[in-house]
């Protein structure tokens, strides 16, 4: 494929599990600083798409280009180092470590075995931890053991751990699942803030929340794109209403 200006260019992406095509010839392009929301019914292949981009699942065919660099051949940690961050559906944090340690351990220096053995906590690292902690509204609870956080805080902490790495593409799988209304609003603000200088892909079911954040919406159905565009256009789409939104 030729080079493009897109941050992420997914072309003809296919993955089949024992003949079942979970993602079928998918094409998707993400712009710089764009916040894209992917919606669709259960089993549409939303999480699988993220798995394919971050390398957790290997594709059967097609290409994924991140800043014109092919990702399908890279291993998971190489994809992360290229600048792609991924948040999992269930909050995935280190429960035995403090909030501070969770953030510090995600700092993208000292990533090799020996680098980590001789890693020095510089002022730069500390400054970055405090900056991110402020961003995710957790600067007052840095000492707290992560296991004691509320569900919503755990979700934010994981987002913070990704922000520590300053990724250019951030992928979030249902970031507001299980959050209270107030936490949802705060998360929407957080996402609007963090997409200022990076591209973000969000998978979400909560349509109110989607409206607050989405620049553009992609609707997936049976591994294919059903519709794509601005939120109000997609909501008015007959096919989308039929398979997903309901009447």
Partner 1 sequence: MNETLSKILGGKQGAIGLAILAAFIMIVLPLGLDPFRLGLIGKYLTYAFVAVSLVLLWGNGGILSLGQGIFFGLGGYGMAMFLKLEASDPVSTAIQSTPGIPDFMDWNQLTALPWFWEPFKSLPLTILAILVVPTIFAFLIGYAMFKRRVGGVYFAIITQAIALILSILIVGQQGYTGGVNGITDLKTLLGWDIRSDSAKYVLYYVNAGLLIACILLSRYVLSSKFGMLLLAMRDKEERVRFSGYDVSNFKIFIFCLAAMISAIGGAMFTLQVGFMSPTFIGIVPSIEMVIFAAVGGRMSLIGAVYGTLLVNFGKTMFSETYPELWLFLMGGLFIAVVMFFPNGIAGIYEKYAKKVPFLRKLSEETPKAKKAEAIPAAPVETKEAGVKA
Per CB under 8 A, residues contacting partner 1 are: 54, 56, 75-77, 80-81, 85-86, 88, 92-98, 100-101, 104-106, 108, 110-113, 116-119, 121, 123, 126-127, 130-131, 134, 139, 142-143, 158, 161, 165
Closest distance to partner 1 from the beta carbon of 129 (Å) = 9
Q: Which residue has the tokens 């159905």?
A: 221
Minimum distance from CB of 47 to partner 1 (Å)?
14
Minimum CB distance to partner 1 smaller for 2 or for 96 = 96
Report the residue count for the chain: 247
Contact 135, 78 (CB under 8 A): no
- Residue 4 or 192: the one with the smaller Cβ distance to partner 1 is 192
Beta bridge partners of 9: 29, 65
CA distance 194 to 87: 14
Token pair listed for 179: 């959050």
Residue 20 or 118: which CB sits closer to partner 1?
A: 118
Which pair of tokens denotes residue 30? 């993400």
CB of 229 to partner 1, least distance (A): 30
Q: How far is the CB of 96 from partner 1 (least distance, A)?
A: 6
The residue behind tokens 């269930």 is 90
| Separate counts of helices (H) and strands (E) for the chain | 10, 10
* Cβ closest to partner 1, residue 71 vs residue 210: 71
């Amino acid at each position: 494929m030729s080079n493009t200006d897109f941050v992420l260019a997914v072309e003809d992406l296919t993955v089949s599990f024992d003949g079942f095509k979970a993602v079928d010839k998918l094409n998707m392009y993400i712009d710089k600083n764009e916040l894209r929301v992917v919606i669709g019914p259960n089993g549409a292949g939303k999480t699988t798409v993220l798995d394919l981009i971050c390398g957790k699942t290997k594709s059967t065919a097609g290409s994924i280009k991140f800043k014109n660099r092919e990702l399908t051949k890279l291993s998971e940690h190489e994809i992360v180092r290229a600048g792609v961050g991924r948040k999992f559906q269930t909050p995935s944090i280190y429960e035995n470590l403090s909030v501070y340690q969770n953030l510090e351990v995600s700092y993208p220096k000292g990533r090799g075995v020996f680098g980590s053995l001789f890693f020095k906590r510089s002022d730069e690292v500390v400054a970055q931890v405090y900056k991110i902690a402020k961003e995710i509204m957790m600067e007052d609870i840095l000492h707290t053991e992560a296991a004691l956080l509320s569900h919503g805080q755990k979700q934010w902490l994981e987002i913070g751990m990704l922000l520590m790495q300053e990724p250019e593409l951030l992928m979030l799988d249902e970031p507001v699942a299980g959050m209270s209304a107030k936490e949802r609003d705060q998360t929407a603000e957080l996402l609007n803030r963090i997409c200022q200088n990076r591209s973000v892909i969000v998978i979400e079911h909560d349509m109110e929340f989607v409206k607050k954040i989405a620049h553009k919406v992609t609707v997936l159905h049976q591994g294919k794109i059903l519709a794509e565009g601005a939120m109000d256009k997609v909501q008015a789409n007959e096919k989308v209403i039929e398979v997903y939104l309901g009447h």
